[in-house]
Structure 1
Amino acid sequence: MNAPVGFEALADPWTIPIDQIDVADARIFQDDVWPGWFARLRRDDPVHFTTDSQFGAYWSVTRYKDIMQVETNPQVFSSASGITLLDQETQYRLAMFIAMDPPKHDVQRLVVAPIVAPGNLANMAGTIRQRAATILDNLPRNETFDWVEHVSVELTTQMLATLFDYPLERRRDLTYWSNIATTNFKDPNALVKTEEERFTELRKMAAAMMDLWNQRVNAPPASDLISMLAHGEATRNMDPMEFMGNCVLLIVGGNDTTRNSISGGLWALNKHPDEYRKLRENPGLIPNMVPEIIRWQTPLAYMRRTALRDYELAGKTIHAGDKLAMWYISGNRDAEAIEDADRFIIDRSRPRQHLSFGFGIHRCVGNRLAELQLTILWEEIMKRFPFIELMQEPKRVYSSFVHGISSMMVRIPG
């Protein structure tokens, strides 16, 4: 299905008729014009119904307080029909614990939670620092290069390989599978064009992970994700689709959020030179800056829920069976909830008051690991490079779900 008649991603969001707005159109994210569209909806129609889109009919929830109302009502707003607006054909639909409701969600989530427990994070910190240092020390000086390829992807993929205890020399498999899982079929450069093609590639991922499972299920429990799934009471008897789905979830969750925040943070600092100067003068602001980067970038723009019964939200009646998008990217710019929400402020007083990790029972299980990686990376950057220069505007991912940067050319003076 196409966008509503008359909708153009580059139109003026303040003059277009409200019923023609479709904020799930990936072009507004690729062209980085999304802030105006969401500001219009927050002001004029904060719970907005789009009748016709690539994904069919859906509601957009755009204010912080309304998103929180949905997040804290999982008994009304279910995840079980999927977390994106795309309605997959049943045969290709992957079960994963983020797309489950309690109690099954809770017990499966608990299986993998220990990998990001404080003690395990402390153990990982040295590895992250060593890898970040090696990556940064190998970057060219006075030469334009792609920050996404050389830093953002490389650091997160090495960490992901460690979490799965996946062969480090094959780590780019994980990046590829993450991109396959989140690709938008309408993207002219899409890696796959249909659900069938996507499923074919993800079956290769599942086969590789199943090889690791078979090795670890007969070995003593270890601290990697595959071993945890193989030995966990709630996960060791998963059917193949559920196993595939949870592997996809853990790969995407461990990859996209951190990768795009690493890129988005450097972009934000270049666009806000006063904040970059503040950071150079006081690198001790890094732990405060990291959640501000994650708010500013909002690596996953939305999460979907499906109404299990009729429900009134901000004066609108959501009907049973309706799907809705909680636009985290909009809630993170809601001035009614976050002071100076449109400004990037690295010494913000309440930097963790953002929605990028979700809220409630589905809050991102790896949020502290993402913050740890970003904190260590920026500590190591500031030891070496007082300034990294953005050479041109980033190229952005064609997606309304992953708010990502695919390429960003930079230069390190020196």
Structure 2
Amino acid sequence: MLKSTDSAIGAALAQAREEAWSTPLARLDVSKADRFARNLHWPFFDRLRAEAPVHYCAESEFGAYWSVSSYETIVAVDTNHRQFSSAEGIFIGDRDESFRSESFISSDAPIHAKWRKPVMPGVGPKRLQDLEAVIRGRVCDILDGLPVGEEFDWVEHVSIELTTQMLATLFDFPFEDRRKLTFWSDVVTSTPQVGNNSLDPEERKKILMECVGCFTGLWRDRQAREPGFDFISLMAHDPATADMAENPMTLLGNLMLLIVGGNDTTRNSISGGVMALNDFPEQYDRLSADPAVIPNMVSEIIRWQTPLAYMRRTALEDVEVGGRTIRQGDKVVMWYVSGNRDDAFFDDPYEFDIARAKARSHLSFGFGVHRCMGNRVAEMQLRILWEEIQKRFKRVEVTGEAERVMSNFVLGFSKLPVTLRV
């Protein structure tokens, strides 16, 4: 069970536990974004795993849906691409048919492989070797420019800045305009489909069409050049995707998938790792004593944070999972955030353990054909960041109240005040 020593947080968690375990199971709805924004979603998933790891919610803000919440049931659905489809989208909310984009993560075979394969060399083994020195140089520049002994926002100055610089490299995007990438990523994930109503729908469409226009220009430019290893060049020169710019919504969908994938996982794990080490100071002491644990710690951070809470599928036919019959056309949500706290798979899952034996078996990157293709880049950024942090600072100390994103999909931080100690 989740523990807390802070009295205010403890009281809120106690209230959440009471609600989670007293609500009739048939009416339990785990999709409410405000719970995730307050970090109070955990008891609701504890109950589902204990009593209904395959659970049907008949009524919610997003309509009826099934939750699969145990490690075992999530893997069963995530690897079953014959009976579960991504084609209706990956968010729990249904698509806006008036502004429907397409991408390889929301496509099935053969389109999925056709669109995904061209960009894979951009994060392949050879590319990773070239990127390591670039990442380390940028990490060093960022860390060396931070104030010591005074409070600043870690999200703004480190998490966003590092991932945005990395995105600019992966896309060969104009470096001086790199913050547009983060902005567009946030716009894509600020949608009622995930419980975020902060942006006017028409304004959102306008911004994203401006994004398409920008990338269409870059696409034409790359087509006229020799092929490179950035994502735009790889797609623009591959016969399978060379005509993608002729369909703006397909171009938008695939580019934003790559931007969000390169932004949210790493950005929120960078912030989440700092938060976890402060919540478990004995683990910070362990890190200080043995920096060789960093590669395993990176996996534990990604398990602990679970930067994307879930992926959605749609049943293509009637199928039995965990003793329940899911009907053709039903919406199925694989709650990675719950599977990563499943004590049937992870020992003491609510403990942050940087030497955890099965840390790399986390669910955060997914399984099967849709497994995150940029996972090695994300891990490399986190590893290098913590290697360089340990060379410079005794502690990255959280010294103010964290603010979390309003979303049931992106589990992240919008603000994390910290002070560097040397």
Instruction: Tell me if TM exceeds 0.5.
Output: yes
SS in 2 for 1:14: helix
Compute the displacement of 1:191 (Å).
Answer: 4.7
SS in 2 for 1:352: helix
| 1:182 aligns with one of 189, 206, 209 | 189
Is the 1:180–1:191 contact (alpha carbons within 8 Å) kept by the matching residues of 2?
no
Which residue does the alignment assign to 2:400?
Answer: 392
For 1:352 and 1:188, the matched residues in 2 are separated by: 30
Residue identity opposite 1:162 in structure 2: T
| 1:237 aligns with one of 234, 237, 243 | 243
Compute the displacement of 1:104 (Å).
Answer: 1.3
Which residue does the alignment assign to 1:308?
Answer: 316
SS in 1 for 2:414: strand
Aligned length: 406
Which residue does the alignment assign to 1:199?
Answer: 205
Is the 1:280–1:386 contact (alpha carbons within 8 Å) kept by the matching residues of 2?
yes
For 1:72 and 1:298, the matched residues in 2 are separated by: 19
Instruction: Tell me: CA distance 1:250–1:188, structure 2 relative to 1, closer, same or farther (3 Å).
Output: closer
SS in 2 for 1:412: strand
**Is structure 2 residue 300 aligned with structure 1 residue 292?**
yes
| 2:53 aligns with one of 46, 61, 71 | 46
What is the percent sequence identity of the aligned residues? 51
TM-superposition CA deviations, 1:232-277 (whole Å, max 9, x none): 1211122221111001100100000000000000000000011100
Which residue does the alignment assign to 1:167?
Answer: 174
Is the 1:311–1:317 contact (alpha carbons within 8 Å) kept by the matching residues of 2?
yes
**Is structure 2 residue 126 aligned with structure 1 residue 115?**
no
Compute the displacement of 1:193 (Å).
Answer: 2.7
Which residue does the alignment assign to 1:225?
Answer: 231
CA RMSD in angstroms comes to 1.6
TM-superposition CA deviations, 1:184-207 (whole Å, max 9, x none): 44999855132x432221111111
For 2:351 and 2:38, the matched residues in 1 are separated by: 20
Which residue does the alignment assign to 2:350?
Answer: 342
Is the 1:81–1:306 contact (alpha carbons within 8 Å) kept by the matching residues of 2?
yes
**Is structure 2 residue 413 aligned with structure 1 residue 405?**
yes
Instruction: Tell me: CA distance 1:220–1:191, structure 2 relative to 1, closer, same or farther (3 Å).
Output: farther
Compute the displacement of 1:20 (Å).
Answer: 2.1
Higher helix share: 2
Compute the displacement of 1:17 (Å).
Answer: 1.4
For 1:384 and 1:323, the matched residues in 2 are separated by: 48
| Residue ranges of structure 1 left out of the alignment (5+ in a row) | 1-7
Which residue does the alignment assign to 1:5?
Answer: none
Instruction: Tell me: CA distance 1:218–1:9, structure 2 relative to 1, closer, same or farther (3 Å).
Output: farther
Is the 2:195–2:407 contact (alpha carbons within 8 Å) kept by the matching residues of 1?
no
Which residue does the alignment assign to 1:97?
Answer: 104
Residue identity opposite 1:13 in structure 2: A
Compute the displacement of 1:10 (Å).
Answer: 8.0
Which residue does the alignment assign to 2:361?
Answer: 353
Is the 1:186–1:193 contact (alpha carbons within 8 Å) kept by the matching residues of 2?
no
Which residue does the alignment assign to 2:160?
Answer: 153
Is the 2:17–2:43 contact (alpha carbons within 8 Å) kept by the matching residues of 1?
no
| 1:246 aligns with one of 238, 248, 254 | 254
For 2:77 and 2:194, the matched residues in 1 are separated by: 30
For 1:227 and 1:131, the matched residues in 2 are separated by: 23
For 2:195 and 2:74, the matched residues in 1 are separated by: 32
For 1:224 and 1:70, the matched residues in 2 are separated by: 32
TM-superposition CA deviations, 1:276-335 (whole Å, max 9, x none): 000000011101100110000000000000001011111111111101110000001111
Is the 1:338–1:353 contact (alpha carbons within 8 Å) kept by the matching residues of 2?
no
